Chains A and B, each alone.
With several copies, the nearest count.
Chain A
Amino acid sequence: MAELTPQRLVASFAALAEKMDAERDTLCRLDGVIGDADHGIAMAQGMAAASGAAADLPEGASLQDVFNAAAKAFLNAVGASSGPLYATAFLRAGKAAGPHAAMPLAETPSLIAAMAEGIAARGKAEPGQKTMLDAWAPAAEAARRGDDLVAISAVAHAGAEATAEMIATLGRAARLGERSRGHRDPGAVSAAMIIAVMAESWSRPDGA
Chain B
Amino acid sequence: MTLTQKLINDGNDTVDEMLAGVMAAHPDHLWRPDHAPRAVIARHGPREGKVALVIGGGSGHEPTFLGFVGKGLADAAAIGNVFASPPPQPVMDAAMAAHGGAGVLFMYGNYAGDVMNFDMAAEMLEMEGIETRTVLTTDDIASAPREARDKRRGVAGNVFIFKAAGAAADLGLPLDEVERIARHANARTYTMGVALSACSLPQTRRPNFDLPAGEMEIGMGIHGEPGIRREALRPADAVTDEIMDAILSEMAAAPGDRVAVLVNSLGSTPLMELYILHARVNARLKAAELEVHRTLVGPYCTSMEMAGASITIMHLDDELQRMIDHPCDCAMFRQG
Determine whether A and B are in direct contact in the complex, meaning some CB atoms lie less than 8 angstroms apart. Answer: yes
Give me the interface of A with B, judged by CB distance under 8 Å: 24-25, 28-29, 32-38, 41-42, 45, 75-85, 122-123, 170-176, 179
B201 to chain A: which residues have CB within 8 Å? 28, 37-38, 41
Interface pair A85/B223, CB less than 8 Å apart: no
Nearest CB to that of B142 among chain A residues?
A175
Establish whether residues B209 and A79, one from each chain, have CB atoms under 8 Å apart when the complex forms.
no
Pick the contact of B85 from A25, A37, A83 — CB < 8 Å?
Answer: A83
Q: A36-B208, A123-B112, A172-B112 are in contact. Are A79 and B84 (CB under 8 A)?
A: yes
CB distance from A38 to the nearest CB of B (A): 5
Considering the complex, give the chain A residue whose CB is closest to the CB of B227.
A175
Q: Which of B81, B153, B209 contacts A78 (CB 8 A)?
A: B81
Chain A residues lying within 8 Å of B113, measured Cβ to Cβ, are 79-84
Give bound CA distance, A29 to B58, whole Å.
19
Check A79–B117 contact: CB distance below 8 A. Answer: yes
What string of 1s and 0s marks CB contacts (under 8 Å) between B105-129 and chain A? 0000001110011001000000000
In the complex, the answer to whether B87 meets A34 with C-beta atoms within 8 Å is no
- B86 in contact (CB, < 8 A): yes
Given A33-B209, A36-B208, A37-B201, decide whether A76 and B89 contact each other with a Cβ distance below 8 A. yes
Known: A37-B83, A37-B224, A75-B89. 9 other contacts (CB 8 A): A32-B224, A36-B208, A37-B223, A38-B83, A81-B116, A83-B85, A83-B87, A84-B120, A176-B225
CB distance from A58 to the nearest CB of B (A): 23
Q: How far is the CA of A36 from the CA of B208 in the complex (A)?
A: 7
Inter-chain contacts of B209 with A (CB < 8 A):
32-33, 37
B residues whose Cβ falls under 8 Å from a Cβ of A:
12, 58, 80-89, 111-113, 116-117, 120, 143-144, 151-153, 200-201, 203-204, 206-209, 221, 223-226
Taking CB as reference atom, which chain B residue is nearest A37?
Answer: B208
- 10 smallest beta-carbon distances between A and B, as pairs: A36-B223, A80-B84, A81-B113, A84-B116, A79-B87, A37-B208, A175-B143, A79-B85, A80-B113, A171-B112
Residue on B nearest A173 in the bound complex, by CB: B225
CB-CB under 8 A from B82, the residues of chain A are 38, 41
Main secondary structure of the interface of B (DSSP, over half): loop
Question: A175 contacts B144, CB within 8 Å?
Answer: yes
- B221 x A175 contact (CB < 8 A): yes
- Chain B residues, CB < 8 A from A36: 83, 208, 221, 223-225
Which residue of A32, A79, A84, A122 is within 8 Å of B80 (Cβ)?
A79
CB closest chain-B residue, reference A169: B151
Q: Which of A29, A83, A174 contacts B151 (CB 8 A)?
A: A174
> Hey, which chain B residues are within 8 Å of A77, CB to CB?
87
List A contacts of B85 (CB < 8 A): 79-81, 83
B208/A175 in contact, CB under 8 A: no
Asked if B89 contacts A122 (CB within 8 A), the reply is no
Which one, A45, A83, A179, contacts B117 given CB within 8 A?
Answer: A83
| Cβ 8 A contact of B111, one of A78, A82, A172 | A172
Q: Indicate which residue in A37, A80, A123, A175 contacts B81 across the interface (CB closer than 8 Å).
A: A80
What A residues does B112 contact at CB under 8 A?
81, 123, 170-172
Neighbouring B residues of A82 by C-beta, 8 Å? 113
**Bound complex: CA of A82 vs CA of B112, how far in Å?**
10
| A179 and B225 alpha carbons, distance in the complex (Å) | 11
| Chain B residue with the shortest CB-CB distance to A81 | B113
In the assembled complex, the CB of B170 is this many whole angstroms from the nearest CB of chain A, namely 28
Closest A residue, CB atoms, query B210? A32
A25 pairs with B86, CB closer than 8 A: no
By a CB distance below 8 angstroms, the chain A residues around B117 are: 79-80, 83-84
With both chains docked as a complex, state the minimum distance between the C-beta of B202 and any C-beta of chain A, in angstroms.
10
B83 cross-chain contacts in A, Cβ below 8 A: 36-38
Residue of B87, B153, B204, B223 touching A25 (CB-CB under 8 A): B204
Asked if A34 contacts B223 (CB within 8 A), the reply is no
What are 29 residue pairs bridging A and B, where the CB atoms are less than 8 Å apart in the complex? A25-B204, A28-B201, A28-B206, A29-B206, A32-B208, A32-B224, A35-B223, A37-B83, A38-B81, A38-B83, A41-B81, A76-B89, A77-B87, A78-B81, A78-B84, A78-B87, A79-B58, A79-B81, A79-B84, A79-B86, A80-B81, A81-B112, A82-B113, A83-B113, A172-B111, A174-B144, A175-B143, A175-B144, A176-B226
CA distance A75 to B117 in the complex (A): 9
Complex Cα distance, B208 from A76, in Å, reads: 24
- Give Cα A76–Cα B35 distance, bound, in whole angstroms: 13
* Chain B nearest Cβ from A144, distance in angstroms: 25
Inter-chain CA distance A166–B273, complex, in Å, is 38
Residue ID in chain A nearest B143 by CB atoms? A175
Residue of A nearest to B151 (CB): A174
Q: How far is the CA of A122 from the CA of B224 in the complex (A)?
A: 25
- CA separation between A171 and B116, bound complex, in Å? 11
How far in angstroms is the closest Cβ of chain A from B140? 8
Q: What's the least CB distance linking B114 to chain A, in Å?
A: 8
State A174–B153 Cα separation when bound (angstroms). 10
